Amino acid sequence: MSSRLPIRKTYKLFIGGAFVRSESGRYDRIEGGASATAPSAGGVNIPRASRKDVRDAVAAARKARGGWAARTAYNRGQILYRFAEALESRAADIGAERLDVEASIDVLVHYAGWTDKFQPVLGGINPVAMPYLSFSLPEPTGVVGIVAPDAPPLLGVIAELAPALAAGNTVVAVLSGERPLPGLDLGEVVGIADLPGGVVNLLSGRRSELAPVLAGHHALDAIVDASGDPALAADIDKLAAESVTRVHQATPAESYEAATGDPLSRLEALTELKTAWHPVGA
């Protein structure tokens, strides 16, 4: 009796709500497990995204940003909670340590609760010495790029993804370069989590190739750099300045407490305050 050859799993990028092959056709081979609990004897293929894939992901996020920002805060909270439910249901299939997955689920639930609370906290009525009413309201920044840290591979991206989504932004994330599997597994969770296509876009590949292209893209509104790489951070700052893109340098979150310890600063970094004036009195 001849033994059959195992099928090598080939992951795909997650762009615009669809699983797509890299435009370049390039893949990296990883021997061993497809997930922490379901090893694949044949190993897996990891897609190497190209500059074109980055541009496609930003275009998809830009197309989706209006609809996502227009949803009510309550509805965004519902969808983020559904995201946490979907991740919980697929926890055994995620190629990350159990504590990493559990912390990621809890972070999503935490920020799902913030969707209808940060507006009154960050906004408010401004005192003026004239017969006008002045008030400020936080609005989404728009399309947010995320450069995820190498570790922890799942919580590192979720810690930046959750507040961006809670604030009404759409996201293009460059996953961990050393351990991309948890992030690619996350794409399969996003696919069943009720998130509209284009709201979350996930790219794997060489971070040194992808992050500068993302930071310099004219249609990107903000970028969160959690890579922990000083040289890359300097490049991102320079490229983002040329396109007037907001940059937020973040320390990689290694625990639930680190990801939720100062939620308002994470939310505020990805919102814009809109101030309106209205006459009052006679």
- pLDDT tens across the length of the chain (282 residues): 567 777 788 999 999 999 999 999 999 988 765 444 444 445 899 999 999 999 999 999 999 999 999 999 999 999 999 999 999 999 999 989 999 999 999 999 999 999 999 988 998 888 787 888 888 889 999 999 999 999 999 999 999 999 999 999 999 999 999 999 999 999 999 999 999 999 999 999 999 999 999 999 999 999 999 999 999 999 999 999 998 899 999 999 999 999 999 999 999 999 998 888 888 765
Number of domains into which the chain is organized: 1
CATH code of the domain in which 140 resides: 3.40.605.10
- 54 is a domain residue: yes
Looking at residue 38, its pLDDT comes to: 43
Domain of 248 in residue numbering reads as: 50-279
SS3 sequence of the chain: CCCCCCCCEECCEEECCEEECCCCCCEEEECCECCCCCECCCCEEEECCCHHHHHHHHHHHHHHHHHHHHCCHHHHHHHHHHHHHHHHHCHHHCCCCHHHHHHHHHHHHHHHCCCCCHHHHHCEEECCCCCEEEEEEEEECCEEEEECCCCCCCHHHHHHHHHHHHCCCEEEEECCCCCCHHHHHHHHHHCCCCCCCCCEEEECCCHHHHHHHHHCCCCCCEEEECCCCHHHHHHHHHHHHHCCCEEEECCCCCCHHHHHCCHHHHHHCCEEEEEEEEECCC
Looking at residue 246, its pLDDT comes to: 96
Q: Which residue has the tokens 């965004």?
A: 76
* CA–CA gap between residue 115 and residue 77 (Å, rounded): 6
- 230 is a domain residue: yes
Looking at residue 115, its pLDDT comes to: 97
Q: Which two tokens stand for residue 264?
A: 């308002």
Q: Are strands 170-174 and 124-126 parallel, antiparallel or unpaired?
A: unpaired
Looking at residue 95, its pLDDT comes to: 86
Looking at residue 2, its pLDDT comes to: 62
- 130 is a domain residue: yes
Contact 252/149 with Cβ under 8 angstroms? yes
- 1 is a domain residue: no
* CA–CA gap between residue 255 and residue 99 (Å, rounded): 9
Give how far Cα 9 sits from Cα of 42, 162, 204, Å: 8, 28, 15
Question: CB 133: neighbour CB atoms within 10 A?
Answer: 14
Q: Are strands 200-203 and 170-174 parallel, antiparallel or unpaired?
A: parallel
Which of 276, 269, 277 has its CA nearest to residue 249?
269
The CA R_g of the chain, rounded to the nearest whole Å, is 20
Looking at residue 37, its pLDDT comes to: 41
* CA–CA gap between residue 38 and residue 32 (Å, rounded): 10
- 134 is a domain residue: yes
β-strand partners of 42: none
- 62 is a domain residue: yes
- 235 is a domain residue: yes
Looking at residue 135, its pLDDT comes to: 81
Q: Which two tokens stand for residue 136?
A: 């400020």
Q: Which two tokens stand for residue 190?
A: 């996003």
- 97 is a domain residue: yes
Looking at residue 36, its pLDDT comes to: 44
Looking at residue 131, its pLDDT comes to: 81
